[in-house]
């Protein structure tokens, strides 16, 4: 006897059928879960207006990647020195996250980070630049978007997912979240905040 089925030829055939059916169900369940996580595609949002600290218009360039499981952005000058934001796999994230990444990367152009030497990875200076960019993105979404605060909360959920899939500890996300929450409450516009940063850096 095996699972209450007699070990006759008919019994064995029934067991084989059961095993095959179970495997097929397991395969589809796993595939569906994987597909939901990886194949969901989002409409790509229109890039925001972005002008750097020297008054140059920043261009946005779409980069698609089949393998990436989350969206990302990068702010730099291209080979022709044109200020650029590369939008990697934006189709993998909802509107709030795309918007947040665009404005975060734009902030690196607005504050002149892009034209300054790259600080060492995880150095206090780099952390400071990232906090400032998050803050500017938060202020712009709050003031320029309909339901801006709700959009920021949606973006935070996505940032949490991305950071934990990249192996960041909870503490990294929490400090980013608290910086974003503090910025949300600031009684200042993004423009004034940026002016303060540029003055402090003696760019203005």
Which residues contribute to the site for Zn ion (CB under 5 A)?
130, 133
Q: Which is nearer to Zn ion, 32 or 165 (CB)?
A: 165
Q: Which is nearer to Zn ion, 14 or 126 (CB)?
A: 126
In the complex, the smallest distance separating the C-beta of residue 177 from Zn ion, rounded to whole angstroms, is 16
Question: Contact, 11 vs 2, CB < 8 A?
Answer: yes
- Rounded Cα gap, residues 66 and 39, in angstroms: 10
In the complex, the smallest distance separating the C-beta of residue 174 from Zn ion, rounded to whole angstroms, is 18
Q: Which is nearer to Zn ion, 102 or 130 (CB)?
A: 130
In the complex, the smallest distance separating the C-beta of residue 108 from Zn ion, rounded to whole angstroms, is 6
* Closest chain position to Zn ion (CB): 133
Q: Which is nearer to Zn ion, 92 or 108 (CB)?
A: 108
Q: Which is nearer to Zn ion, 107 or 151 (CB)?
A: 107
Question: Contact, 173 vs 127, CB < 8 A?
Answer: no
59-63 and 72-77 beta bridge pairing: unpaired
For residue 77, report the phi and psi dihedrals to the nearest 5 degrees.
-90, 140
By C-alpha distance, which of 140, 142, 114, 119 is closest to 192?
140
Residue 56: exposure state from Cβ atoms within 10 A (0-12, 13-18, ≥19): middle
In the complex, the smallest distance separating the C-beta of residue 16 from Zn ion, rounded to whole angstroms, is 56
In the complex, the smallest distance separating the C-beta of residue 39 from Zn ion, rounded to whole angstroms, is 28
């Amino acid at each position: 006897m095996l699972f209450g089925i007699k070990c006759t030829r008919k019994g064995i055939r029934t067991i084989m059928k059961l095993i095959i059916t179970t495997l097929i169900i397991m395969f589809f369940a796993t595939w569906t879960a994987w597909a939901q996580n990886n194949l969901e595609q989002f409409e790509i949002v229109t890039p925001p207006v972005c002008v750097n600290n020297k008054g140059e218009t920043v261009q946005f360039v779409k980069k698609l990647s089949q393998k990436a499981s989350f969206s990302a952005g990068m702010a730099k000058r291209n080979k022709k020195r044109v200020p650029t934001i590369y939008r990697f796999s934006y189709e993998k994230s909802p509107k709030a996250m795309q918007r947040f990444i665009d404005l975060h990367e734009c902030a690196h152009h607005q504050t002149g980070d892009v034209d300054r030497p790259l600080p060492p990875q995880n150095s206090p200076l780099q952390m400071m630049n990232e906090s400032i960019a998050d803050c500017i993105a938060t202020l712009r979404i709050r003031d320029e978007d309909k339901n801006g605060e709700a959009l920021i909360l949606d973006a935070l959920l996505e940032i949490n997912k991305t950071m934990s899939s990249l192996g960041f500890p909870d503490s990294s996300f929490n400090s980013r979240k608290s910086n974003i929450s503090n910025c949300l409450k600031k009684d200042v516009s993004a423009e004034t905040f940026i002016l303060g940063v540029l003055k402090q850096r003696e760019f203005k």
